[in-house]
A and B are shown apart, each in its own frame.
Chain A
């Protein structure tokens, strides 16, 4: 690996995963003939958003050597509560969502406090939460489905109307592309100002160019999805926009804030984190609160997608979320993993689901296959870490 390119083992691994994703898409397309169509990709993007939003935060939880098994149930109780307040009590969607957020934060305070301050293993705390909050989701509306009709609220779920439209999608694409370019330029300028070695210009251009091409190709694909009775391109679905904002926010937290660095330090060596004066308990509690915010966002998107709040909302989502994080390269031993990895992990799972469905593979076989893919991903993870010297055994 040429040193002047400053490619870390991490970048390499993300590249490999992106490659796996591309190969999967091609194989499914060859077998089904309609995998790489705007319609299918539009649906995949939209369907992945909920798991992707939660996985971005759960990835950090796992980095900090914790786990949260209760995310699906918490999303259920929060989602039903929001729908219940809107349908049965005629609340406006804004206060309803804020009430949902408040409940999610209280739950996070409770579970986070038990984990961080009392030292109860988060596995046990959230396993209890998995059962309790699923029950609570039933109790909120006595198990009755709460339909949603508010047109504004339903935009969050995507669907036929919940997308940006062609023009705004291009604007969004252009803004993000400019942001990527500016990021690279300012990094180079900073490196020069501090007298640090630079990566070759062609390399920086190629990497930035690659991301911009992927971004614009995505926008073009979403715009190419034209509904027969609408006559105009759909553009980027709102859930995907929300997911993208969440991922950018999380990436900022991880790379640019003290809190993000402390999460990784705690995951790398909890004892050292304490000894150098990091407020480990407070960081851990904040992490659970951050997850609660994202679970609430996911609940809103999810309820809106279903046009209703039901007590089964988010059932077994925790498995998909954790699988997405792990396939995305988050090590359960803590200290390593990326937000971008969680995006790729969530996409790989959804690609499999969607591709196998298009191939008419039954639900039983789909579960068998996805489960084994998870294991393949972890085997790869173990071998890769051994090869890059990250793990000794």
Chain B
């Protein structure tokens, strides 16, 4: 973990986003350091997914700036975000159901032969390795992903972050549709990536997820930030108070960098 006050891996500052007349995100700032997990919390419609989608390049940013290691960066589409080493695991998993697991892992970033054609063998080989690391029992990687279980589909989505060596990872409700065993797999993975120095934004509704995994948390309500705290400094009731009532915690100071 980095020293307090050091340059964050990713910093989003003064971000605004409106859809038509609706202000979805208003002057929001969040940051994540290397090897840190920052939970982004809020009601449905609080703006947390919109905020993260802007970082992932899925929505253009209206105003505000994104810095990576102190350098201002421009993200206008998902490819920009991927080039910067930011991977996103969407709640919907962003899988093409009619394609197999291998094609989905490499979707948009296929391995090519020297003749410029798809290198299916190289992709399948690489995919086998990365799937095996996540779930040794996952063998039917050549059937359309629509016929896979929820856990296997999650493995495919997560494997993108693993294979492309993410520097930063956005996880949108990664455990929402998973059973206990698969949830444990995701938790182990988060800890492992964190230990490798990956900075992780975790969007979650689940308090055990938040308190078990995150170092800091940022709460949003109606498109604005309520507060940012060290997870260890606050308790569950205070967090729920921020989410539901937008009530800022004054007992402890806010934390814009990890301890």
Report which A residues bind B (CB closer than 8 A).
6, 8, 190-191, 193-196, 255-258, 261-262, 264-265, 267-269, 271-279, 335-336, 389-390
What's the minimum C-beta distance from B22 to chain A, rounded to whole angstroms?
A: 20
Residue of B79, B97, B107, B121 most packed against chain A (CB within 10 A): B107
Instruction: Knowing A256-B117, A261-B103, A275-B88 are in contact, say whether A194-B98 is a contact too (CB < 8 A).
Output: no
Q: Cα distance A373–B90 when bound, in Å?
A: 43
Instruction: Knowing A257-B118, A261-B110, A277-B79 are in contact, say whether A272-B98 is a contact too (CB < 8 A).
Output: no
Interface pair A194/B103, CB less than 8 Å apart? no
6 additional A-B residue pairs with CB within 8 Å, beyond A194-B121, A269-B98, A275-B58: A258-B118, A265-B103, A268-B98, A269-B96, A276-B78, A276-B108
Interface pair A277/B77, CB less than 8 Å apart? yes
Measured between beta carbons, the chain B residues less than 8 angstroms from A390 are 144, 146
Interface pair B146/A194, CB less than 8 Å apart? no
Nearest 7 Cβ contacts at the A-B interface: A268-B98, A268-B96, A277-B78, A335-B98, A272-B94, A277-B79, A276-B108
Closest B residue by C-beta to A336: B98
Let me know if B57 is at the binding interface, CB within 8 A: yes
Binding site secondary structure of chain B: loop
Interface pair A277/B82, CB less than 8 Å apart? yes
Measured between beta carbons, the chain A residues less than 8 angstroms from B78 are 274-277
What string of 1s and 0s marks CB contacts (under 8 Å) between B100-126 and chain A?
A: 000100011110100011100110110
Interface size on B, residues (CB 8 A): 37
Interface pair A269/B108, CB less than 8 Å apart? no
Interface pair B118/A265, CB less than 8 Å apart? no
What's the minimum C-beta distance from A252 to chain B, rounded to whole angstroms?
A: 8
Q: Per a CB cutoff under 8 Å, which of A190, A277, A279 touches B57?
A: A277
Interface pair B99/A264, CB less than 8 Å apart? yes
Closest B residue by C-beta to A193: B121
What's the minimum C-beta distance from B132 to chain A, rounded to whole angstroms?
A: 13
Interface pair A272/B110, CB less than 8 Å apart? no
Q: Per a CB cutoff under 8 Å, which of A190, A191, A256, A272 touches B96?
A: A272
Q: Cα distance A257–B160 when bound, in Å?
A: 20
